[in-house]
Amino acid sequence: MSAFDSGQRPSLTAAQTFRYQPMTVEGRAVTVSGVKNTFHYRIK
């Protein structure tokens, strides 16, 4: 297993479990620009 593989697997797992939650106003989804989603990892 390469260093890339060991970093890729947690990334894929995080992406698969990620659930998008849109910004809502009065119960309706609204467009928001400039939003970034970040995954944090703890290396043991």
Query: How many helices (DSSP H) and strands (DSSP E) are in the chain?
Result: 1, 2
Return the pLDDT at 23: 92
CB pairs under 8 A, 24+ apart, for 2-10? 7/41, 10/41
Q: pLDDT tens across 12-38, in order? A: 887 888 888 889 999 999 999 998 888
Q: 0.75 exceeded by the pTM? A: no
pLDDT range class, residue 2, cuts 50, 70, 90: low
pLDDT(1) > 80: no
Q: How far apart, in whole angstroms, are the C-alpha atoms of residue 24 and residue 22?
A: 6
Side-chain-side CA neighbours of 20 within 13 Å: the count stands at 6
- Residues 39, 35, 10, CA angle at the centre, nearest 5°? 15
